[in-house]
Homo-oligomer: A and B are copies of this chain.
Amino acid sequence: MNLKAKDISERRETAHTNGVARLMAPLRLDSGQMLHDVDIAYCTYGQLNARRSNAVLICHALTMDQYVASPNPTTGRPGWWPTLVGPGQTLDPQRFFIISSNILGGCMGSTGPSSINPATGRPYGLSFPVITIADMVRAQAMLVSQLGVDTLFTVVGGSMGGMQALEWAATYPERMFSCVMLATAARHSAQNIAFHEVGRQAIMADPDWRGGEYASQSVRPEKGLSVARMAAHITYLSETALQRKFGRELQRDGLSWGFDADFQVESYLRHQGSTFVDRFDANSYLYITRAMDYFDLAQRFDGKLSLAFQKSAGVRFCVLSFSSDWLYPTPESRNIVRALNAAGAPASFVEIDSDKGHDAFLLDEPVMRDVLAGFLEAAAEKRGV
């Protein structure tokens, strides 16, 4: 099941389309505001079949993007989900029409705080409205329609992508045949909010943030964004994974007796921070973390999560959690599954034994591959894809 170098190089050449769709109507936001001239950047892989029954929507996590199976033009790195999407993988473009879009509020081509506000001709900055996961999903649904797709074969997402999948299930159940959620939660916990708040405060403490107006002043709050990324990155890995990967290994022989990166884990985190600022916008980080913190799917259903799925009984669900994920631990997934069961929706649930923490869903976990392959194959047969 291991990915070979040859596989990767083939996948790098996966036929794909990059596009930016201007949504055909203004977007009404949960905040009550209207957002005009909304662009959603996307990639597609494969072809829509004649019955229009083979479309798949991939929803990305906080810092990911639309380049799920093709190289990211900013970083040059290959697609971010090689174990699931690509030739020979479960979601093979030979069979499926795969859509992956950059979320509303993102910084890879979709409208977000770094976009030009058509009303002023200048970057939105903090005049960009606060958005929600539901707003992101409304924009995705419009994009999917504009790409000629009524009903998706499946909506797949991990982490914040899983939150989007949950919103799809609650809002557009008639437009999806199945739904896969990995390493996610139906609401943000106090600890989740706390970590995000540390990141936001780190960004806003950076004098180069300039009250969010850095773009028009040719500076960037790189140090603050880097600290935010470092803090968040710790939550993506398990304590065990960090210990196995780095332990107390030093960067060089002996201690520096100073504040250089003595330990490999320090150097690794600094690297995570410094490479992140090259590919991510600080204001997008503020807005997206805010959307995640605001996420509490049950809230608009009187606090009863099962009511969110009252029209979803016809959708086939697959919910996966990872045993060492302490960001969105297994009880959060069980909570979703219980609500799906209460709503009468068929749901497969697997807790995958892994010590790799939250990020396991992006890694090569053979059990995850097998479970997803089994679930999606059965659904595809049922759907006749």
Contacts and interface: CB of A to CB of B under 8 A. Distances in A.
A372 interface: no
B248 A194 contact: no
Contact of A198 (B194, B234, B257, B326): B234
A133 to B, nearest CB: 14
Nearest to A243: B190
A188 interface: yes
Interface stretch (A43-51, A59-67, A114-122, A220-228): A220-228
A290 B231 contact: no
A190 B130 contact: no
A126 B259 CA distance: 9
Interface stretch (A34-42, A261-269, A313-321): A261-269
A130 B258 contact: yes
Interface stretch (A20-28, A92-100, A147-155, A204-212): A204-212
A286 interface: yes
A195 interface: yes
Contact of A224 (B191, B198, B205): B205
A246 interface: yes
Q: What is the oligomeric copy number?
A: 2
Interface string A276-308: 000000000010001001101000000000000
Contacts of A294: 255, 262
B204 A207 contact: no
A239 B191 contact: yes
A78 B246 CA distance: 41
Contact of A326 (B31, B231, B239, B296): B239
A220 to B, nearest CB: 13
Contacts of A255: 130, 294
Given A193-B248, A245-B190, A231 B266 contact: no
Contacts of A206: 205
Given A204-B259, A223-B205, A248 B198 contact: no
Interface in A240-257: 242-243, 245-248, 255, 257
Contact of A266 (B194, B224, B265, B273): B194
19 contacts: A130-B257, A187-B248, A190-B243, A190-B247, A193-B248, A193-B266, A194-B269, A198-B230, A198-B234, A201-B223, A201-B230, A201-B270, A204-B259, A205-B206, A231-B231, A239-B326, A259-B286, A259-B290, A263-B293
Interface of A: 31, 126, 129-130, 187-191, 193-195, 197-198, 200-202, 204-207, 223-224, 226-227, 230-231, 234, 239, 242-243, 245-248, 255, 257-259, 261-263, 265-266, 269-270, 273, 286, 290, 293-294, 296, 326, 329
